[in-house]
Amino acid sequence: MSASLFSPLRLREVELSNRVVVAPMCQYMAQDGVPQDWHLVHLGQYAQSNFGLIIAEATGVSPEGRITPGCTGLYSDAAEAAFARIISFARSVGNSMMGVQLSHAGRKASTATPWDGAGTLVDGAWQTVAPSNVPYLPGWPEPTALDATGMAQIKADFVAATRRAARAGFDLVELHAAHGYLLHEFLSPITNQRTDAYGGSLENRMRFVLEIFEAVRAEFPAERPVILRLSATDWIEGGWHVADAVILSRELAALGCDMIHVSSGGLDQRQQIVPGAGYQVAFSQAIRAEADIPTIAVGQITQAIQAETILRTGQADAIALARGALWNPRWAWHAAAELGQEVTMPAPYARCNPALRGKPFVTRKALK
């Protein structure tokens, strides 16, 4: 019996060979925004493991849009070339599609790496920006409230990064509107206290996100998908919530958004998250059903049968792993074997497949 998890998924002219996605995961190992050999190995291992889609980490559209000085960016020729090298390697070892998450960190930018405390930078700090001048935490620097000129520049930065993503060879672009970064900050009434056309009502708070999406969609090749990572709720009373996320997703679908990658939280440390296995799947299900748009479910999805059940019951169209993929980079192989599907792997690794024990060595040509 064919497993839903290992059935193809077509988005525009891009076809994923299966529905297992590597979610974007910050590595904090870039130099001046440029991916290093670390990123080649980190992302390349998933290409070897036949994940359907691999999305590179939150990548700043400008130097100031990075979370930390160690975050990747897509604002220089050197970064574009480094990403192109990674994509070329992925193409050479498997059939994974490659995506990148374009991001601006907003008021959560200019911070130290987690292993350096994750606080605000002391040396090399830069001025942060946000919809309103509300700091992320007490004692943190106050962000500059964006004016029309600043917003126009950020939109231009997203467009320029999208051009670079297309030239580098990415199959897909994901806009980051989750986890308390700039686009999420515009959406939530907790962080958006503006009184102009970009604040107040839900329609106004969605406006900048929709404008950015429309500009990116117009710039990225029409045959390749553009998707959006969304926090479905702030987990705070009076904040952004699932009903808002459904309305935004409908608007995005009308503009040509191909899929919503459904996460939650990250805006404010007052959040009251109730974690557990698949704790965000219900948000994915609601957006998929009520906004009529494909979704990716993510969050404590660890078992193959759990992922398969989510797909078969119509709660999502694809499954993303983050920490689970770090812990087990061969998750896609193991899930395929567990669900009785053919395990696809590069020829040099074929002899490790338990199904091939005792059989003659299979040629590379036969496996492709």
Amino acid of residue 231:
S
Handedness of CA 57, 63, 65, 70 (dihedral sign): positive
Element of type H or E holding 333: helix 331-338
Element of type H or E holding 342: none
Element of type H or E holding 235: none
Handedness of CA 40, 43, 49, 52 (dihedral sign): negative
Mind giving me the DSSP string for 116-164? GTSSB-STT----EESSS--SSTTSPPPEEP-HHHHHHHHHHHHHHHHH
Token duo for residue 5: 């998890």
What would the mean pLDDT of 310-326 be, rounded to a whole number?
98
Pairing of strands 14-16, 9-11: antiparallel
What would the mean pLDDT of 102-118 be, rounded to a whole number?
96
- Phi, psi for 98 (deg, rounded to 5): -115, 130
Pairwise CA distance, residues 172 & 97, whole Å? 8
pLDDT of 302 higher than 50: yes
Per-residue pLDDT of 126-169, as tens digits, reads: 999 999 999 999 999 999 999 999 999 999 999 999 999 999 99
What would the mean pLDDT of 301-328 be, rounded to a whole number?
97
Pairing of strands 260-263, 226-231: parallel
- Name the catalytic one among 181, 198, 279, 349: 181
Region of 119 on the Ramachandran plot (φ > 0 left; ψ -120 to 50 alpha; else beta): beta
Average pLDDT taken over every residue of the chain: 95
What would the mean pLDDT of 69-90 be, rounded to a whole number?
98
Amino acid of residue 145:
A
Give strand pairing partners of 54: 22, 98
Region of 260 on the Ramachandran plot (φ > 0 left; ψ -120 to 50 alpha; else beta): beta
Confidence (pLDDT) at 358: 63
Crossing angle of helices 148-168 and 202-219, in 10° steps, is 40
What would the mean pLDDT of 10-21 be, rounded to a whole number?
98
Least trusted range by pLDDT, from 201-215, 225-239, 341-355: 341-355
Q: Domains in the chain and their CATH numbers?
A: 4-367 (3.20.20.70)
Token duo for residue 216: 């990116």
Confidence (pLDDT) at 356: 75
**Which of 298, 279, 219 is closest to 53 using CA atoms?**
298
Confidence (pLDDT) at 366: 39
Per-residue pLDDT of 336-366, as tens digits, reads: 999 999 888 898 998 898 877 766 655 444 3
Beta-carbon neighbour count of residue 322 at 10 Å?
A: 18
- Residue 46 annotated among the catalytic residues of the structure: no
The strand ranges marked E within the chain are 9-11, 14-16, 20-22, 53-60, 97-103, 129-130, 144-145, 172-177, 226-231, 260-263, 295-298, 318-321
Per-residue pLDDT of 47-75, as tens digits, reads: 999 999 999 999 999 999 999 999 999 99
